[in-house]
C-alpha cells in the first residue's frame, strides 16, 4: 500500500482522497510504502497527514480492489484471488489500497515529528482544508465511486458479502483494524499514547 506526498505537504494514504487532491491540481511528489513510513525519522515538507476511519477505509479498499478485479477479469470463480487480496491487507508490501498497521505507522511518524506542526486531517475535512488553501475543486461523491461498473455494491453490503463468504480471512484483517483504531483516534486528538519499552 502506498502513502503519497502531494504538493502542499499532504501525506496521504491511498483511498483517503488522493484522486481528490489530483483533481484540485496538486501533484504527487513522492510515494512511500507503510514500512518506509515506519523507517522514516522525518519526511521534508509534510504539513498534513490525511486519515480515514480504519473500518471505512477497509470497506472502501475491499470494494475497490475486489470489484475492480471482478469487473476486469470476468472469471467464473474468484475465491483464490479474494483470499490473496485479504492476505495482502496484512503484509503492507502489496499494491492494494489497505494495510493493517497503517494508522500505527502514521501515528509514530506524526509523534516523531509532532513539534514540526503537522496537522491531522480526517478525510471528511479534506475539502474544507483545500478550500482554505484557495483550491476550488468541490468534492462530489459520485465523481469518486465506481457505480458505472457492471458489478457494483455499496461498501457495507459488499463488506458483509466478503465477511460471509471469506470469514477467516476477513476476520484476520478485522483483528488488525481493532489494534489500529486507538492509533487513529489518538491522531485525531493529537494524543500521546504511553510508550512501552518491554
Cβ contacts of 197 within 8 Å, gap of 6 or more: none
pLDDT attached to residue 69: 83
| Cα distance between residue 29 and residue 24, in whole Å | 15
pLDDT attached to residue 35: 86
pLDDT attached to residue 155: 85
pLDDT attached to residue 56: 94
In this structure, are residues 60 and 93 in contact, taking their beta carbons and an 8 Å threshold? Answer: no
Task: Write out residues in the chain with pLDDT < 50, as ranges.
Answer: none
pTM of structure: 0.90
Cβ contacts of 160 within 8 Å, gap of 6 or more: none
pLDDT attached to residue 174: 96
pLDDT attached to residue 149: 61
Chain segment 45-59, per-residue pLDDT in tens: 999 999 999 999 999
Q: Is 15 left (phi over 0), alpha (psi -120 to 50) or beta?
A: left
Amino acid at each position: 500500500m502506498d502513502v503519497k506526498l502531494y504538493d502542499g505537504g499532504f501525506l496521504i494514504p491511498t483511498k483517503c482522497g488522493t484522486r481528490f487532491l489530483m483533481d484540485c491540481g496538486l501533484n504527487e511528489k513522492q510515494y512511500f510504502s507503510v514500512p518506509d513510513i515506519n523507517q522514516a525519522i522525518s519526511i521534508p515538507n509534510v504539513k498534513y497527514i490525511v486519515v480515514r476511519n480504519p473500518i471505512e477505509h477497509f470497506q472502501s479498499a475491499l470494494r475497490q480492489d475486489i470489484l475492480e478485479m471482478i469487473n476486469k477479469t470476468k472469471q467464473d470463480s474468484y475465491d483464490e484471488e479474494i483470499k490473496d487480496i485479504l492476505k495482502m491487507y496484512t503484509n503492507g508490501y502489496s499494491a492494494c489500497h489497505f494495510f493493517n498497521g497503517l494508522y500505527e505507522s502514521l501515528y509514530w511518524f506524526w509523534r516523531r515529528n509532532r513539534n514540526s506542526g503537522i496537522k491531522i486531517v480526517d478525510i471528511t475535512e479534506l475539502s474544507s482544508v483545500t478550500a482554505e488553501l484557495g483550491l476550488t475543486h468541490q468534492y462530489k461523491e459520485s465523481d469518486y465511486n465506481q457505480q458505472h461498473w457492471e458489478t457494483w455494491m455499496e461498501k457495507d453490503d459488499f463488506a458483509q458479502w466478503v465477511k460471509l463468504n471469506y470469514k477467516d480471512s476477513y476476520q484476520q484483517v478485522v483483528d488488525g483494524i481493532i489494534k489500529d483504531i486507538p492509533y487513529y483516534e489518538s491522531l485525531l486528538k493529537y494524543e500521546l499514547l504511553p510508550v512501552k519499552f518491554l
